[in-house]
Amino acid sequence: MSDSSTPRCGYVAIVGRPNVGKSTLLNHILGQKLAITSRKPQTTRHTMLGIKTEDAVQAIYVDTPGLHKDNDKALNRFMNKSASQALRDVDVVLFVVDRVRWTDEDQMVLEKVRFVTCPVLLVVNKLDRMDDKKDMLPHLEWLATQLPDAEIVPVSALHGRNIDQLEQLIAERLPESEHFYPDDQITDRSSRFLAAELVREKVMRQLGAEIPYQVTVEIEQFKQEGKILHIHALILVERDGQKKIIIGDGGERMKKIGQEARLDMQKLFGSKVMLNLWVKVKRGWSDDERALSSLGYNF
């Protein structure tokens, strides 16, 4: 007989098209800003683990880049591959969808989720947006017919509504097992990686829709000296014009990016941070598999 003190542990894949709120959901569950989020698709590029241990239960969440329709560029192929891989060898799948909007990209994910053998929770996010309330029920009814075995869980990841219930449903579906990670570990990613992602998030949020997502960040120095963490970050872009835009008039935009990233880093690392930022043009990085792999996008 298992009871609440029997250890449980397993992997929970968070899948869905770009912008449905997967990373926001993970951050809310973890109670920390680990995964970067923004209104732009392609914000999440890497699969990342977020680990939450509460009493006997350890849930290992796999945040994925959304599946993209365009498979033309090396970076997009990389993201699609990691999103598909996350569906294999997990114990629970969270299929995150928007409360009303359904797109071709949702349909692509659905076609993959149909074939998973583990339990699926259909997480209907952005409940707080009441603009199109009357459309929601027919949408949910239709979704239920598409995945008859999935349990439907409406939530608001942004406002934390119904997340406790979601976590309870996840816990019940995890296998009995010893924990794979120490109970105080929250991710498999290094602090350097998290620092680079925080800079990239600020860049993504600062740039208008007219700028393509041809930005990546490398951490050149990450060193604790006494009470201060010294971080040097290099922002790589594809073109001179993009460099100008990121720097902004009189360096205004760079300054903002740096200030916001530094504040998030201080919260995450629990230390005072000195952050130095540079921008450099490195042509073709997003469509060159070798350049990608030197930047940490491992195929």
Beta-ladder partners of 122: 95, 152
C-beta neighbour count of 135 within 10 angstroms: 12
Rounded distance between C-alpha atoms, residue 288 and residue 37, angstroms: 25
Write out the residues near Mg ion by the rule CB under 5 A.
Answer: 22-23, 44
Look at the block and give the residue holding tokens 């027919």: 138
Task: Indicate the residue whose CB is closest to Mg ion.
Answer: 44
| Among the listed residues 24, 58, 76, 216, the single contact to ligand GDP using CB under 6 A | 24
Q: From edge to edge, which strands make up the β-sheet containing 92-98? A: 48-54, 57-63, 8-15, 92-98, 120-125, 151-154
**Nearest approach, Cβ of residue 20 and K ion (Å):** 9
Q: Are 175 and 9 in contact (CB under 8 A)?
A: yes
**Nearest approach, Cβ of residue 36 and K ion (Å):** 8
Q: Which is nearer to ligand GDP, 10 or 21 (CB)?
A: 21
**Phi, psi dihedrals of residue 228, rounded to the nearest 5°:** -115, 135
| Among the listed residues 9, 13, 18, 261, the single contact to ligand GDP using CB under 6 A | 18
Any idea of the CA torsion for 213, 267, 279, 43, to the nearest 10 degrees? -10
Closest of 12, 6, 22 to residue 52, by C-alpha: 12
Site for K ion contains 64 (CB under 5 A): no
| Among the listed residues 9, 19, 25, 113, the single contact to K ion using CB under 5 A | 19
Q: Which is nearer to K ion, 35 or 171 (CB)?
A: 35
Site for ligand GDP in 47-76 (CB under 6 A): 66
Site for K ion contains 24 (CB under 5 A): no
Site for K ion in 138-167 (CB under 5 A): none
Size, binding site for K ion by CB under 5 A: 2
Q: Which is nearer to Mg ion, 125 or 286 (CB)?
A: 125
Q: From edge to edge, which strands make up the β-sheet containing 228-237? A: 215-225, 228-237, 272-281
Site residues (CB under 5 A) for K ion? 19, 43
Site residues (CB under 6 A) for ligand GDP? 16, 18-24, 37-39, 43-44, 66, 125-126, 128-129, 156-158
